[in-house]
Amino acid sequence: MGAMNLDKNKRSLRGEISVPGDKSISHRSVMFGALANGITKVENFLPGDDCLSTISCFRQLGVEIEQEGSRVVVFGKGFEGLSEPEGILDVGNSGTTIRLLMGILSGRPFHSVLMGDHSIGKRPMTRVTKPLSLMGANISGRKEGEYTPLSISGQQLNSIEYKLPVASAQVKSAIILAGLQAEGETTIIEPEKTRDHTERMIRQFGGEVTTNGLAVSVRGGQSLTAANVSVPGDISSAAFFLAAGAIIPDSKIILKNVGLNPTRTGILDVLTAMGADITIEPYQTESGEPAGDITVAFSTLKGTVVEGSLIPRLIDEIPIIALIATQADGITVIKDAAELKVKETNRIDTVVAELAKLGARLEATEDGMIIYGNTFLKGGEAVSSHGDHRIGMMLAIGALLCTKDVSLEQAEAISVSYPSFFDDLQKLF
């Protein structure tokens, strides 16, 4: 695996960038484009490895899709337009691709096999196979359906009312996608509100979904109509530059067209609670997703507690929050975040191990971590992304604070969600 040498650089970051399209929304634009009738045009699609995996799986399922950079055209023919794939569907590193596909394929009248890379092979799937099985799905996998490869024989599905044991938008979305094909109305009750891009996109594609507090209901047998999707920038990608602007002295960064869906903006709440200098200019969008420009400038920060219903609203931002916390006054505590253990890597372990190599002082807990602030990051030691894109980007930003050079191993993982990350960083020097 290639290592990247990150120059020690204590210069401030200044300027304006547009981060690439939102990963969650990009996946769903292809999926709903395929399941709708008609031609769906997607703008500002994220051409990261994960979303390209979704495109290639849907092509294998017989859907015609044109993709050139961030422009995608999907020629949808409804749920019935999907056909049995000849080979194994390879989801690469993408949990969203595999889990949402499980919901779709459980109701299609053919056989399919899903698998991905080494990391996907270790991620829990029973959280999806269990509710889908209750709907009548026929799915098998290693260790009683917990791990890939997964084999699905599509069936006529029945609706359920299901209380989700974990706050997961992927699981919720898989059940919604199965529910759209089931007889009757399916209701999912979440323990905490998670990202609602699936619900918003169903409405954008002319479907109906009702939400009532933590309950989401969909009726089966609806048909969806093609729509044009303009994907806002990914706040989870913007988070790395929000952090850089907030913790590197004398920095000021403007991030254009960032998605501001309230189920995703926990990072802004945390930065504000820490005392960051942030200005948000929201604007009206034509799509069903709010967006705006964000300006962040360096300021002194204080430690905070990140817990409870905030966690699903910033689950992917916890690695970069840990880095921010190393530069704040006082202690930061992250709890209620055991889900971190089943992400692309065990993000409690990888964050603690790799940040410690840069000189941070932090410790793992059962469901999060404790980070001691005001630490001087020295660098000088090689660090690794462990194949996890968000760990790689967090370490690249951390290296900018170090006095010694840092070599980042497995830096190529960053292309999973942000292929132009280093180009955008360069623009701010």
Q: Rule CB under 6 A: which of 335-354 touch ligand S3P?
A: 339
200 binds ligand S3P (CB under 6 A): no
**In angstroms, rounded to a whole number, what is the distance separating the alpha carbons of residues 89 and 58?**
9
According to CB under 6 A, which one of 90, 289, 316, 412 is a site residue for ligand S3P?
Answer: 316
According to CB under 6 A, which one of 26, 29, 54, 96 is a site residue for ligand S3P?
Answer: 96
296 binds ligand S3P (CB under 6 A): no
Q: Which is nearer to ligand S3P, 176 or 377 (CB)?
A: 176
170 binds ligand S3P (CB under 6 A): yes
Among 339, 321, 310, 43, smallest CA distance to 170 is for 339
DSSP string, 324-365: HHHTSBSEEEE-S-GGGGGSSS-HHHHHHHHHHHHT-EEEEE
Stretch binding ligand S3P (CB under 6 A), from 58-66, 169-177, 262-270, 281-289: 169-177
53 binds ligand S3P (CB under 6 A): no
List C-alpha distances in Å: 413 to 1, 40, 387, 408, 419: 10, 29, 5, 11, 9
169 binds ligand S3P (CB under 6 A): yes
**In angstroms, rounded to a whole number, what is the distance separating the alpha carbons of residues 142 and 227?**
38
Q: Which of 49, 50, 316, 424 is catalytic?
A: 316
Q: How many residues bind ligand S3P (CB under 6 A)?
A: 10
Q: Which is nearer to ligand S3P, 29 or 40 (CB)?
A: 29
Q: Are 179 and 203 in contact (CB under 8 A)?
A: no
Q: Are 358 and 327 in contact (CB under 8 A)?
A: no
234 binds ligand S3P (CB under 6 A): no
Interacting residues of 79 by C-beta distance below 8 A, sequence separation 6+ = 35, 104, 107, 108, 180, 181
Place of tokens 């210069």: 11
According to CB under 6 A, which one of 24, 332, 350, 385 is a site residue for ligand S3P?
Answer: 24
269 in catalytic set: no
Angle at Cα 49 formed by Cα 312 and Cα 53, nearest 5°? 90
Computed from CA positions of residues 125, 128, 134, 138, in that sequence, does the dihedral angle turn out positive or negative? negative
Q: Which is nearer to ligand S3P, 24 or 265 (CB)?
A: 24
Reading the block at residue 390, the tokens are 């968000």
Please report how close the Cβ of residue 408 comes to ligand S3P at its closest, in angstroms: 21
**In angstroms, rounded to a whole number, what is the distance separating the alpha carbons of residues 238 and 254?**
10
Please report how close the Cβ of residue 316 comes to ligand S3P at its closest, in angstroms: 5
Dihedral over alpha carbons 299, 302, 307, 309 (to 10 degrees): -40
According to CB under 6 A, which one of 112, 173, 217, 326 is a site residue for ligand S3P?
Answer: 173
Q: Which is nearer to ligand S3P, 173 or 181 (CB)?
A: 173
Does residue 165 sit in helix, strand or coil? coil
289 binds ligand S3P (CB under 6 A): no
Q: Which is nearer to ligand S3P, 127 or 357 (CB)?
A: 127
Q: Are 26 and 42 in contact (CB under 8 A)?
A: yes
Buried (b) or exposed (e) across 316-336, using 16+ Cβ within 10 A?
A: bbbbbbbbbbbbbeebbebbb
168 binds ligand S3P (CB under 6 A): yes
Q: Which is nearer to ligand S3P, 6 or 239 (CB)?
A: 239
Please report how close the Cβ of residue 41 comes to ligand S3P at its closest, in angstroms: 21
Stretch binding ligand S3P (CB under 6 A), from 73-81, 129-137, 163-171, 256-264: 163-171
* Side chain identity, residue 393: M
315 binds ligand S3P (CB under 6 A): yes
**In angstroms, rounded to a whole number, what is the distance separating the alpha carbons of residues 132 and 158?**
9
Stretch binding ligand S3P (CB under 6 A), from 139-147, 165-173, 259-267, 299-307: 165-173
Stretch binding ligand S3P (CB under 6 A), from 164-172, 226-234, 345-353, 391-399: 164-172
Catalytically active residues, by annotation? 316
Binding region for ligand S3P (CB under 6 A): 24, 96, 168-170, 173, 195, 315-316, 339
